[in-house]
């Protein structure tokens, strides 16, 4: 056989000619040197950096870059699934692996934690924030200019608002418009129709958007639109759930109820998944709807963390991540849905409904403030004129002025939340010994139990139904104004809206009463900016002199309204009530 060159040739011969002991010592020294060098490198690595990773597969190693992602609770499970795959891929920033951790965080809680504009609790800090709506992000951008906050312009999913009905309720051909969703006039209050429920708009995007869309449809910025807004908000406040879980219970408790709940598609899908024996019926508002858009917000000021946030954002835009969103009941950012998830037989429509723009930050702030003002319980003393002129007939109604007034007042009681405190006086001239006024019912909470076993609300309705004018009675207006103001000042409650409502059809004709000038002077002397008590007057009849009523309203921060038609009292009552929407009292009309 011929001799081969290489390691099995000359090299082998040379090795054979070396002394055996020397060869083994050199091999041992070589191996020892390599091991020593490796150990030294590890020690150096530990001493300088505190870490050392031998396995750098995946393109990164060393200490991880932790990415804290706070997400709206309903989308968090889908994001956690995407994050697990993202973390396994060992995406790196400057040689360090990124580990994204997604946790549930209410959008309102994060917003108020940043802005301080509302109640917040727990950890509201994060590197990335994914609220359910840009409305929250816009509030933060508007109110907190000095915080790290980058709206990336990426929407990771979407979910339009829908109207959900109980399983066995009658289903119309299409949903109502936002304007027709709730009553917007006095005559509609208490009328039969769908009972509309919301999740508290102070903490819910669906609730907040509903208020903004209803207000926009009504045109609440105009003075004429404010009474309609009051009717709408008061109706919605009577049927508000504190959170989505409570709203789901409301939807499930009466399968045949004429009830509507404003939810997102994804929330309704989750409800139906958990109530497959009686799933909700779904319709879409006529004229379009608003969609939750789940914006991706970078809140970090650390360049490396922001790079990590960008890697995770890019991951969420890929097809695989979007498929995870679809299977969890969401639509993609451009409105694509999975027909096997949002099924047509459940009422979902495959195509994206007409989209209404995101309510502006100013609109959201204004309507939220109006909601909070109306939500603050009232403490109201209502005073009704029982002079003889209240017996005059109102043409075309078959009723007299007192009948019309009582009907409007009973209707107006529906405006007040159960926690409100109301009282009732009557007035004429000398009807209570030498006094022009008399208490009929004390100021009490509407739900308070009376001696007869009913509620104070029921007592008020009964009292209004039985109050009679004094046939020969005159109108003792000014003494009554002053006595009512002093009583409300004496019993003032700072946690409520304290006010006086006067209903009259005449001018002051008590010759023994104080003058208008004396009344104005006493009101100015006894009023206090920290204890405001606005006086609202609704006056009706052809002979009313509005000037004294306007002056009293101006001094007290209230408003006065006059009309020749007592049948308009109901809508005027709403108009008077709408002054609560304004921070500094109302306007006179």
Nearest to 556 by CA among 581, 528, 579: 528
Give CATH superfamily name and number for 160-292+357-368: Periplasmic binding protein-like II (3.40.190.10)
Tell me which fold the domain 65-158+295-327 belongs to.
D-Maltodextrin-Binding Protein; domain 2 (3.40.190)
In the chain, what are the domain boundaries?
22-52, 65-158+295-327, 160-292+357-368, 376-581
> Which phi-psi region, left, alpha or beta, contains residue 430 (left: φ > 0; alpha: ψ -120 to 50)?
left
3-state secondary structure 509-572: CCCCCCCHHHHHHHHHHHCCCCCCCCEEEEEECCCCCHHHHHHHHHHHCCEEEEECCHHHHHHH
3-state secondary structure 55-78: CCCCCCCCCCEEEEEEECCCCHHH
Structure tokens at 403: 């009948």
Structure tokens at 17: 């000619």
Task: Please list the residues that pair with 196 across neighbouring strands.
Answer: 260
Helical segments of 71-159, H only: 76-88, 107-115, 134-143
The pairing of strands 150-155 and 295-298 is: antiparallel
Nearest to 410 by CA among 142, 135, 190: 190
Give the pLDDT of residue 221.
Answer: 59
Residue 524 has pLDDT above 80, yes or no: yes
Mean pLDDT of 493-502: 90
Residue 18 has pLDDT above 60, yes or no: no
8 A C-beta contact, residue 436 and residue 428? yes
8 A C-beta contact, residue 215 and residue 229? yes
The Cα 458–Cα 260 span in angstroms is: 28
Q: Could you read off the pLDDT of 534-585 as tens digits, one per residue?
A: 999 999 888 889 999 999 999 998 888 888 777 677 777 767 666 665 554 3
Q: Which residues of 351-378 are buried (b: 16+ CB within 10 A; e: fewer)?
A: ebbeebebbebebbbbbbebbeebeebb
Give the pLDDT of residue 182.
Answer: 81
8 A C-beta contact, residue 124 and residue 105? yes
Give the pLDDT of residue 588.
Answer: 40
Give the pLDDT of residue 57.
Answer: 39
Residue 152 has pLDDT above 80, yes or no: yes
Give the pLDDT of residue 51.
Answer: 34
Domains 160-292+357-368 and 376-581 share a fold: no
Residue with the two structure tokens 């000037």: 547
Give the pLDDT of residue 62.
Answer: 73
Give CATH superfamily name and number for 376-581: von Willebrand factor, type A domain (3.40.50.410)
Give the pLDDT of residue 579.
Answer: 66
Nearest to 400 by CA among 574, 567, 187: 567
8 A C-beta contact, residue 163 and residue 284? yes
Q: Could you read off the pLDDT of 341-379 as tens digits, one per residue?
A: 999 998 999 999 999 999 999 999 988 888 887 777 789
Say which DSSP state 373 is in.
H
Q: What average pLDDT does the chain have?
A: 84
Tell me which of 116-120, 451-455, 554-558 is least confident: 116-120
Q: Could you read off the pLDDT of 381-421 as tens digits, one per residue?
A: 999 999 999 999 888 888 999 998 998 888 878 778 788 89
With pLDDT > 70 as the criterion, what percentage of the chain qualifies?
A: 84
Best mean pLDDT range from 224-228, 428-432, 559-563: 428-432
In the chain, what is the straight-line distance between the N-terminal and C-terminal CA atoms, in Å?
123
Mean pLDDT of 277-287: 93
Q: Could you read off the pLDDT of 67-114 as tens digits, one per residue?
A: 999 999 999 999 999 999 999 998 889 989 999 999 999 999 999 999
pLDDT band at 500 (very low <50, low <70, confident <90, very high): very high
The Cα 320–Cα 351 span in angstroms is: 21
8 A C-beta contact, residue 149 and residue 126? no
Structure tokens at 4: 């081969």
Q: Could you read off the pLDDT of 42-51 as tens digits, one per residue?
A: 333 333 333 3
């Amino acid at each position: 056989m011929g001799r081969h060159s290489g390691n099995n040739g000359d090299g082998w011969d040379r090795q054979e000619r070396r002394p055996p002991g020397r060869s083994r010592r050199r091999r041992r020294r070589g191996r020892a040197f390599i091991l020593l060098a490796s150990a030294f490198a590890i020690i150096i690595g530990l001493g300088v950096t505190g870490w050392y990773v031998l396995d750098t597969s995946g393109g990164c190693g060393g200490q991880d870059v932790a990415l804290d992602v706070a997400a709206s609770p309903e989308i968090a499970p889908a994001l956690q699934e995407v994050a697990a795959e993202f973390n396994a891929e060992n995406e790196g920033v400057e040689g360090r692996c990124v580990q994204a951790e997604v946790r549930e965080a209410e959008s309102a809680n994060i917003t108020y934690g940043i802005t301080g504009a509302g109640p917040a609790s727990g950890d509201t800090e994060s590197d990335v924030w994914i609220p359910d709506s840009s409305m929250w992000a816009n509030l933060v951008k508007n109110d907190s200019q000095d915080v790290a906050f980058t709206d990336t312009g990426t929407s990771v999913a979407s979910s339009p608002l829908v109207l959900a009905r109980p399983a066995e309720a009658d289903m119309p051909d299409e949903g109502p418009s936002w304007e027709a969703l709730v009553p917007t006039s006095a005559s509609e209050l208490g009328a039969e129709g769908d009972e509309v429920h919301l999740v508290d708009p102070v903490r819910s995007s669906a609730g907040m958007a509903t208020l903004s869309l209803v207000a926009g449809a009504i045109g609440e910025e105009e003075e004429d639109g404010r009474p309609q807004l009051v009717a709408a908000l008061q109706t919605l406040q009577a049927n508000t759930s504190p959170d989505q879980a409570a709203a789901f219970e409301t939807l499930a408790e009466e399968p045949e109820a004429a009830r509507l709940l404003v939810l997102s598609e994804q929330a309704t899908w989750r409800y139906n998944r958990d109530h497959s024996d009686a799933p909700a019926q779904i319709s879409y508002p006529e004229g379009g709807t608003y969609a939750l858009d789940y914006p991706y917000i970078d809140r970090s000021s650390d360049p490396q963390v922001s790079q990590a946030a960008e890697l995770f954002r890019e991951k969420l835009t890929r097809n695989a991540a979007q498929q995870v969103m679809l299977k969890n009941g969401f639509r993609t950012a451009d409105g694509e849905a999975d027909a096997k998830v949002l099924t047509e037989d459940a009422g979902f429509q495959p195509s994206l409904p007409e989209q209404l723009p995101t309510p502006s930050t100013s609109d959201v702030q204004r309507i939220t403030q109006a909601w909070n003002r109306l939500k603050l319980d009232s403490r109201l003393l209502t005073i009704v004129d029982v002079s003889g002129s209240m017996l005059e007939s109102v043409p075309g109604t078959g009723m007299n002025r007192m009948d019309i007034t009582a009907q409007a007042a009973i209707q107006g009681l529906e405006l007040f939340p159960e926690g409100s405190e109301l009282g009732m006086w009557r007035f004429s001239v000398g009807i209570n010994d030498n006094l022009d006024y008399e208490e009929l019912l004390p100021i009490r909470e509407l739900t308070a139990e009376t001696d007869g076993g009913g509620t104070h609300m029921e007592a008020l309705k009964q009292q209004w139904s039985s109050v009679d004018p004094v046939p020969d009675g005159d109108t003792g207006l000014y003494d009554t104004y002053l006595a009512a103001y002093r009583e409300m000042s004496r019993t003032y409650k700072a946690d409520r809206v304290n006010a006086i409502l006067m209903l009259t059809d005449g001018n002051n004709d008590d010759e023994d009463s104080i003058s208008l000038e004396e009344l104005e002077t006493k009101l100015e002397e006894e009023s206090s900016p920290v204890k405001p008590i606005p006086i609202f007057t609704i006056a009706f009849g052809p002979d009313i002199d509005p000037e004294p009523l306007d002056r009293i309203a101006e001094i007290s921060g209230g408003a006065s309204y006059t009309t020749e038609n007592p049948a308009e009292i109901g809508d005027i009552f709403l108009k008077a009530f709408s002054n609560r929407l304004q921070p500094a009292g109302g306007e006179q009309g």
